[in-house]
Amino acid sequence: MDLKEKLVSSFMAFEDGLDLDHPVHEERSNAIKNFETKGFPTKKDEAWKYTSLKGLQKIDFSIFPKHETTLEYKDVKKYFLHEIDTYKIVFVDGVYSSYLSETTHDGVDVCLMSSAFSKPMFKQVIEVYFNKAASKDESLTSLNTAFSKEGAYIYIPKNKMPKKPIQILHLATGNEAALMLQPRNLIVAEDNAEVQIIERHQSLTGNEVFTNSVTEIFAGKDAIVDYYKVQNDEPTASLVDNTYISQKDSSVVRVHTFSLGGKLIRNNLNFYQNGERIDSTLKGITILGDKQHVDHHTLVHHAQPNCESHQDYKGIFGDSSTGVFNGKIIVDKIAQKTDAFQQNNNILLSDKSTINSKPQLEIFADDVKCSHGCTIGQLDQEALFYLRSRGIPKKEAKALMMYAFANNVLESVRIPELKARINKIIANKLGVRMGFDL
């Protein structure tokens, strides 16, 4: 039995423990039918031309964890942003860990999707927002919708802001030889609300993990959402991350993606601008080695006038690693005065590393300012020679150049402690001793 057949046959068992009269039941049923029809995407699909899931489909993943595990905070502390006080929503092998979490209903709701699905107090929000931004056609999003049960539920009412940032942490213990996880996150920031969120997926062993994640983010009028994705996992961990963002008038949403480790990472980041004077920011840093693979697919759909979008992705690829960047900007005929910027710059450190970059612009308006650019190259040998002539060792000189290359992405991180943490991870990835001042 291949993975697709196993998932489809497991759906009935999954439904047994759920309320079949719940409005979400129909969404799940339609979603599994779509996945059963389409199956996993293949390289024949244009959007998956450079990324293959064939190897993952041969692995015998457990769909539901067989064991519940309690972790001690001291054993996983390093995966938290523990330098500051935060709310925490923590899942261990897909199961909520109350011991490691800190949630709240004090003016805002920072809790679980399972609670939101089951409790009447959340019913209206679920009916209005759940599965409204996510694609009903994309097969892996449909698969996640079909099995949607647990994940982070964050609701920020009008004119509110949580007292502190929110961390979402998905831990995989390795108790299963191979485990598939399907977290579903729903984040709603109503008019004039503000929130900062950090999300991380982390394996604790070398066992295979395949995470198929979907996040929906809704930003009301004048809302501000900062979302940070930290992807620095084990070489046996694969992640498909589908994020769908719907923005209303004058809202600001910034998403930073740090892809620094993992076997295979596919980020589908989709912005839908449903109002005027909207600002959307998409920034990313990728640093890969070995045979790691990262695929960034972005979409910004400008549907209304007087909006902006800014995309800036930097990639550093060593060994036999591969990267993909496909950035699409759509500007509707009505979306005059759009200002859309897209830039993708890459450094190849090895003759065996590759990057496939494809910027796309579909512009149907005539009074717009749209630009895109892509560069692929190697480290500047003259600049490297200059640094070495000033007494900086070759290894640190290369690290300085690579750090400077990626630094403008880090500059826009609005949580200083997170910026410092990412700096440390990058220094470690580049093989620089931590005492060296970057």
Is the pLDDT score of 185 beyond 90? Answer: yes
Whether residues 82 and 203 fall in one domain: yes
Domain boundary at 275, 299, 326, which? 275
Q: What is the per-residue DSSP string for 242-286?
A: EEEEEE-TT-EEEEEEEEEE-SEEEEEEEEEE-SSS-EEEEEEEE
Domain residue limits at 418: 379-437
The overall average pLDDT reported for the chain is 94
**In sequence order, what are the residues at sequence separation of 6 or more whose Cβ sits closer than 8 angstroms to the Cβ of residue 94?**
65, 150, 170, 179, 181, 182, 183
> Is 160 within a domain?
yes
> Is 59 within a domain?
yes
> Is 254 within a domain?
yes
Whether residues 236 and 117 fall in one domain: yes
Is the pLDDT score of 347 beyond 80? Answer: yes
Is the pLDDT score of 49 beyond 60? Answer: yes
> Is 324 within a domain?
no
Whether residues 261 and 385 fall in one domain: no
Whether residues 51 and 187 fall in one domain: yes
Is the pLDDT score of 206 beyond 80? Answer: yes
Residue 217: CB atoms within 10 A of its CB come to 25
Whether residues 264 and 384 fall in one domain: no
Q: Which of 271, 262, 137, 287 is nearest to 211 (CA)?
A: 262
Looking at residue 432, what is its pLDDT?
64
> Is 42 within a domain?
yes
Domain boundary at 213, 242, 275, which? 275
Label residues 130-143 b or e (16+ Cβ within 10 Å = b).
Answer: bbebbbeebbbbbb
Q: Which of 266, 234, 328 is nearest to 52 (CA)?
A: 266
Q: Is 4 exposed, middle or buried (0-12, 13-18, 19+ CB in 10 A)?
A: middle
Whether residues 391 and 251 fall in one domain: no
pLDDT category of residue 29 using cuts at 50, 70 and 90: very high
Contact 206, 175 (CB under 8 A): no
Is the pLDDT score of 4 beyond 70? Answer: yes
Q: Which of 49-63, 315-329, 403-417 has the least mean pLDDT?
A: 403-417
> Is 311 within a domain?
no
pTM: 0.95
> Is 103 within a domain?
yes
> Is 332 within a domain?
no
